[in-house]
Structure 1
Amino acid sequence: MWWSLLLLCVGGALGYYAPDEILSLPGLNTQLNFRQWSGYLQASTGQHLHYWFVTSQQDPANDPVVLWLNGGPGCSSLGGLLSENGPLHVNDNGRTLYINEYSWNKMANVLYLESPAGVGFSYSDNRNYATNDMELTATAYNGVGFNEISTTAPCTSVLYHGAKLWKNLNTYCCLGGSCNFVTNSNNNCRESVYKVFTILYNSGLNMYALYMNCAGGVRGSNLQFRTELKNLFRFYQFEVPEKPATLSSNVPPCFNDTAQRTWLNRADVRKALHIPDFVQTWELCSSVVSANYQQIYDNMQDFYLQLLSKGLRALVYNGDTDMVCNFLGENWFVQSLNQKKTMDYQPWIYRNQIAGFHERYGNLTFLTVKGAGHLVPEWAPARALNMIRSFLANAAY
């Protein structure tokens, strides 16, 4: 999915980076109690991945490092820094920065990595930005669940969210209590499934936060819609609308990146971040990377199981109004790993209110954030900070 997250708690920084400290930032008029660096990781021959590293406000020498990646594929982690869990956010006009009181660097060092090359300020010497799962994991780690579940869950969720599509889905895709939305040869089923994803991705509904307004209002189809259908529905081979000429970038539907894009493309900001003049203009998502990305793996179960077998702790969390990274599908995926349940599904509490629900399977926790969409740290910042603090401390939520 376009906006993916992987948290890695490790004892040191990722790879080698030059000491390109950020000494000042245009639009920031306050003293900071942490340090920052911006520069490039030499990921492989000719590939230069831009990073922005912020130290913990608490104990940088001993606090963990959180690696933040955005998915897509082809979207920049600086979107997460400047609007979600980073210490500095950009105001609406894109001219000034303000302090985010719910920043995750309150208790952790955070590394924001723009990956793969071609995303944000990252680049390659040959400007060839066609890549795939294997090449991407050679330079960074990214997450995906199980495409079959990712396809089935939204079809099931329309029943619970008031979309009048379930009757046809049930009639044409289900038989004897079993439903197949993924590889069904019934043409009526295929048409019904296509309508579900057209509504989610292409109707003007905010598929990332179902009950929020869609930034920019209803608009035409977009490249992200085509990419998602291409990845999810390999069996069906749907014909999907072309990208309209009026959309200049691969900004996901219902998102407004104007403030971040305006600020990051200022000449004085680029200089402060040590971005060379020849590097491309910053965009939230790269249409070139997205259009040329080859997905190899449909199922990450084996990878999760390998990590869990080594004793690593994992947290899978979802805002429960997000229809893209759907909480129902993510829960099914976690259950499909067949780990022994050690805590039943139950609410977690923040400030004397139910903040969501969670359950545990040994070192693996599944958690929802009530009323939040795709960008949990942006739309539920206090609860997100409490969540990540509990995870890092291995404490109760």
Structure 2
Amino acid sequence: MFLLSLACLSLALCGVTWAAYDPDEVTGLPGMSFKPNYRQWSGYLKASPGKYLHYWFVTSQRDPVKDPVVLWLNGGPGCSSLDGFLSENGPFHVNDDGATLYQNEFSWNKVANMLYLESPAGVGYSYSDDGQYKTDDDEVADNNYLALQSFFAKFPNFTQNEFYIFGESYGGIYAPTLSLRVATGDAAKINFKGFAVGNGISCFALNDQSLIYFGYYHGLFGEQLWADLNSNCCKDGTCNFYNNSMKACVQLVGEAFSIVYESGLNEYALYLDCAGGARTTGSYHRTMLNLFQNYRKQWDAENAVSGGGVQTGSGPTLREVPPCINSTAQMTWLNRGDVRKALHIPDTLPPWDICSDDVGSRYVNKYRTVRDVYLKLLSLGVRALVYNGDTDMACNFLGDQWFVEQLNMKKTTSYQRWVFDNQIAGFYQQFGNITFLTVKGAGHMVPQWAPGPAFHMFQSFLSNTPY
């Protein structure tokens, strides 16, 4: 009783009242052999009627009362943010045995209160009462906004903390669209300061256009294919690899894209091996459902006529998504009955998977570019960071660099290096309240493959200090 009283007194002195959060608190996790110096909660946030988004909230290891609250969103669309928790920036990761946990030296909750949201409904342990999971960009942003309101109603002590939104991959759509709702909405007392996008899709045209240059200058295309691309897709020094109407160009671009994502390369990290070995015959087809859309119809039509390739309706099973990425350990651990119980997951929900085919295959993209969304947010004084691991091919750095440059914001720094641990970590340039930054040698999941530099970048952005 005396020890309990001391604990309550300590929390009271910190200005935090935790009693209201007890039902969702995670008090112990199977496989954890270390004592955490943070608190965590797992439960559900209400979105639109009948939709419930699973969250996992972890307090800062430094100062939960004063440190920012950061929302993390993985993309897909249709992939779970718990993958970000357990393999990228969470306080612990899962060992390869799928049974034990180890501490993450570069966990982002060392300096921030981290909120992981499985979105939209149908992803991971999030669900909808009616089992209908067709959705679109605006509906996702609306539901994430409602879930945020639910979160701050559940955790009112954090409403005065600075609040940031981070999105990865298709989070390039999720993060800015949600940010605009937060910045202009009527949610009470959200102290919103900025957002960041890591290896995100910001503009489909620029992503497709830049991939051809990325592929050629990384040695993926022979000189003959490059010469043919220039002959058939370029005129007067200007090339159109995105929506060219010439059949010969479309075929050549399709050939180039197929080298990138159908030849067995690890699309998410060019210089890393593909987990499970090189795959061919279209294993990427389903996972790239929302990319390269201008060429997909023609490829599908040609494959249907010839009987070759992989058509849109087929492709890898859910457990093969995303390709070249091994998520077996996370899946094994999250589907343990004792883990589900510790995380307060209803018994009626199906097993957890890293990505949902129900969501991804029915998802409707409404933003071919989020340029106008960025411009509105920047005009409101919201700070933004666009960062890219420079070996990623799904959302390559060059497309995002062009995107930021074409916002036509005034340059406030030169393009320059940044350093971590006495080594060049990448390059960056600032344009007023938005920064474009590369992470040298990292792929699509920057915190996973460059954890030290990613943590330094994260700290610098939150504190608005030089990189």
1:166 equivalent in alignment to 2:226 = yes
Following superposition of structure 1 onto structure 2, how do residues 32-71 of structure 1 map, counting pairs within 5 Å? 32-71=36-75
Structure number with bigger Rg: 2
Query: Alignment partner for residue 299 of structure 1, among 342, 346, 369?
Result: 369
Regions of 4+ moved over 4 Å: 16-19, 220-224, 243-246
Partner of residue 254, structure 1: 324
Compared with structure 1, are the counterparts of its residues 18 and 221 closer, same or farther at alpha carbon in structure 2 (3 Å cutoff)? farther
Aligned to 2:206: 149
- Kept in 1: contact 2:91–2:104 (CA 8 A): yes
Whole-Å separation in 2 of the counterparts to 1:275 and 1:229: 30
Corresponding residue pairs, total = 382
Give the match for residue 307 of structure 2. Answer: none
State how far apart, in whole Å, the 1-side matches of 2:202 and 2:87 are: 25
Partner of 1:344: 414
Q: Secondary structure at the match of 1:344?
A: coil
**What pairs with 1:116-195 in structure 2 (closer than 5 Å)?**
116-140=120-144, 141-142=174-175, 144-163=201-220, 164=222, 165-195=225-255
AA partner of residue 102 (structure 1): F
Q: What residue number does 1:326 align with?
A: 396
In structure 2, what is the equivalent of residue 11 of structure 1?
A: none
In the other structure, the counterpart of 1:86 is 90
Instruction: Pick the aligned partner of 1:233 from 293, 304, 320.
Output: 293
Q: Is the 8 A contact 1:120 1:284 kept in 2?
A: yes
Match of 2:459? 389
Conserved 8 A contact 1:17-1:41: no
Whichever structure has more helix as a proportion of its residues is 2
2:331 and 2:362 map into 1 onto residues whose CA distance is 23
Q: Which amino acid aligns with 1:283?
A: D
Give the gaps of 5 or more residues in structure 1: 1-15
Task: Please report how far the alpha carbon of residue 220 of structure 1 lies from its aligned counterpart in structure 2 after TM superposition.
Answer: 4.4
Q: 1:199/1:229 Cα in 2 relative to 1: closer, same or farther (>3 Å)?
A: farther
AA matched with 2:128: S
Moved more, 218-227 or 352-361: 218-227
- Look up the equivalent residue of 2:204 and give its one-letter code: N
| AA matched with 2:213 | T
Q: What is the TM-score of this pair, normalised by structure 2?
A: 0.79
Q: Which amino acid aligns with 1:90?
A: V
Deviation at 1:244, TM superposition (A): 5.5
Q: 1:271 to 1:73 in 2, by over 3 A?
A: same
Change (3 A) 1:250 1:48: farther
Whether the aligned pair in 2 keeps the contact of 1:318 and 1:327 (CA below 8 Å) is yes
- Shift, 1:253, TM fit: 1.2
What is the root-mean-square deviation in Å for CA atoms of aligned residues? Answer: 1.8
Kept in 1, the 8 Å contact 2:283–2:315? The answer is no
State the alpha-carbon separation in 2 of the partners of residues 198 and 117 from structure 1: 32
The question of whether the paired residues in 2 share the 8 Å contact of 1:190 and 1:236 is answered with no
Distance 2:421 2:285 in 1: 38
Q: Which runs of 5+ in 2 are unaligned?
A: 1-19, 145-173, 177-200, 301-309
Report the Cα distance in structure 1 between the residues aligned to 2:61 and 2:296, rounded to whole angstroms.
50
Matches within 5 A, 1:266-305: 266-305=336-375
**Deviation for aligned residue 1:225:** 2.3
Given the two structures, how large is their TM-score scaled by the length of structure 1? 0.92
Which amino acid letter does the alignment assign opposite residue 142 of structure 1? A
Question: Which of 256, 260, 268 is the aligned partner of 1:200?
Answer: 260
Task: Give the superposition deviation at 1:361.
Answer: 0.2
